């Protein structure tokens, strides 16, 4: 199987686990605090995905949200968020996904994100474009902030970052926009930028497993994915700004001014 085929199948395996537990029977525990949750579905999806990937590529590295894995000498690393939108899932809010990406050296080369509720699967391979259910997708052509639909995120345990992000929202509303959404699943937010359902997304704190696949999908769909300063996105916990490209300068400016 190709790298992309494995990523796609792994994301679908994650979806199968999500749907198995969606109607109940899962346990909820906490990690860093009461609002930082992990469910049986997170853990079991990661186990199933890692098992599948290791059957295909036993020497590859694994970077995943719920567990640490022994490093190997391989230049390849699979980056896995077994359940993006855990809080949504735990309450039956139908917006959550599985995200799988592959990095060669310092560069993400394939990505797949599966919307577990809708069954939509977004994929990309570097240099080959982005796809939704195997049909090509492209970012929107919206260039006026006044007609833009945006989406943001904030990590509920980082109170100060939430307060700072509210200043960004205030400034955007004062300038005039079509609307802002907060969905609780960053991987899908990025994919929605990629297919033109929204025009831009930003979030103060994301981990690599949150954005690795989605960022590639945005870029391959013709968009931009950077830091708030419009610098290349580092492969570490980072603020993120993803847009259709046309709105990137103005959104970067608004965010930086709000946070200065």
Q: Domains plus CATH for the chain?
A: 3-136 (3.30.540.10), 145-259 (3.40.190.80)
> For residue 29, what pLDDT is reported?
64
Task: Describe the strand order of the beta sheet including 200-206 as a list of residue ranges.
Answer: 179-181, 149-152, 200-206, 238-243, 224-226
Question: Is residue 84 marked as binding?
Answer: yes
What's the distance, CA 213 to chain centroid?
7
Question: Is residue 149 marked as binding?
Answer: no
> For residue 30, what pLDDT is reported?
60
> For residue 38, what pLDDT is reported?
77
Q: HSE (CB half, 13 Å, CA atoms) of 163?
A: 3
> For residue 32, what pLDDT is reported?
52
Task: Count the neighbouring beta carbons within 10 Å of the beta carbon of residue 231.
Answer: 11
Question: Is residue 83 marked as binding?
Answer: yes
> For residue 162, what pLDDT is reported?
81
> For residue 34, what pLDDT is reported?
47
Task: Count the neighbouring beta carbons within 10 Å of the beta carbon of residue 130.
Answer: 24
> For residue 84, what pLDDT is reported?
97
Segments of the chain scoring below 50 in pLDDT: 34
Q: Mention every residue, 6+ apart, whose C-beta is less than 8 A from residue 84.
A: 96, 97, 98, 99, 113, 185, 186, 187, 188, 210
Query: Among residues 238, 15, 241, 234, which one has the least CA distance to residue 118?
Result: 15
């Amino acid at each position: 199987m190709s790298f992309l085929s494995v990523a796609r199948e792994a994301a679908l395996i994650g979806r199968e686990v999500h749907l198995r537990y969606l109607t109940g029977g899962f346990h909820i525990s906490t990690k860093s605090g009461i609002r930082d949750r992990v469910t049986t579905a997170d853990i079991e999806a990661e186990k199933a995905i890692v098992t599948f990937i290791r059957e295909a590529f036993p020497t590859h590295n694994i970077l995943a949200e719920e567990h640490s894995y022994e490093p190997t000498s391989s230049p390849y690393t699979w980056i896995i968020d077994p359940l993006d939108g855990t809080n949504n899932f735990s309450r039956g809010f139908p917006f959550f996904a599985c995200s799988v990406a592959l990095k060669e050296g310092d560069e993400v080369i394939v990505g797949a994100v599966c919307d577990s509720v809708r069954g939509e699967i977004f994929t990309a391979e570097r240099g080959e474009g982005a796809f939704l259910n195997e049909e090509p997708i492209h970012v929107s052509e919206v260039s006026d902030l006044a007609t833009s639909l945006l989406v943001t995120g904030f990590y509920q345990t980082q109170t100060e970052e939430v307060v700072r992000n509210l200043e960004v929202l205030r400034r955007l509303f004062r300038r005039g926009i079509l609307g802002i959404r907060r969905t609780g699943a960053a991987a899908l937010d990025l994919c929605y930028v990629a297919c033109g359902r929204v025009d831009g997304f930003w979030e103060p704190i994301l981990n690599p497993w949150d954005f690795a696949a989605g960022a590639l999908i945005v870029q391959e769909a013709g968009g931009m994915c950077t830091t708030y300063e419009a610098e290349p996105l580092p492969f570490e916990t980072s603020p993120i700004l993803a847009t259709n490209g046309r709105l990137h300068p103005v959104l970067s400016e608004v965010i930086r001014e709000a946070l200065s």
